[in-house]
Structure 1
């Protein structure tokens, strides 16, 4: 069967192959995409499970306050978000008692 000079049927095979490659690329991108969120806001102390009750400038003072809270039966932890800054964190149910102890605390 002779081929017309203006016919494009010779391009159908490569066009189908390119379309299939594009579909395959989109599917693989979807299938192997990371399930982790792209950008997450870093939770502050108030956003999470713990509540900040005091912010001190020295590590020793924060550890001393943590010892005072521990003696009062309050579970606490210390976080260091920046140089020369220490946050003392407690569970929300102990926050009021911890704040009153922190108010009377002198390092």
Structure 2
């Protein structure tokens, strides 16, 4: 089998390799893609969490967080400014957390 200088046989290997890489990329995108558009948070600072209370003191926020923890609600505290503490929870717990926060007497 002789290869003439004017033939395009030297392109077959790279073209097949590029085609296979492209098909592999499409398959991986299909296999590992979620299919749904990503949800964008309403406020970028909070991300996936929802603010349920804003309190004037760190100690008060820690006390509310303890109450939420006793109720089985995961929470965290953010300090966006001096003399301000936001208590954040996951959206599925927000209604119960707001109820507990409304009945929370913090003695401020």
State the TM bucket, normalised to the shorter chain: 0.5 to 0.7
Normalising to structure 2: TM-score of the pair? 0.57
Aligned residues: 64
Distance in 2, matches of 1:100 and 1:44, equals 23
Runs of 4+, deviation exceeding 4 Å: none
Which protein has the larger Cα radius of gyration, Structure 1 or Structure 2? 1
Normalising to structure 1: TM-score of the pair? 0.58
| SS of aligned partner of 1:106 | coil
Task: Point out where structure 2 has 5 or more consecutive residues left out of the alignment.
Answer: 1-42
Q: Give the superposition deviation at 1:44.
A: 3.2
CA RMSD of aligned residues (A): 1.1
Which residue of structure 1 lines up, in the alignment, with residue 90 of structure 2? 91
Task: Point out where structure 1 has 5 or more consecutive residues left out of the alignment.
Answer: 1-41
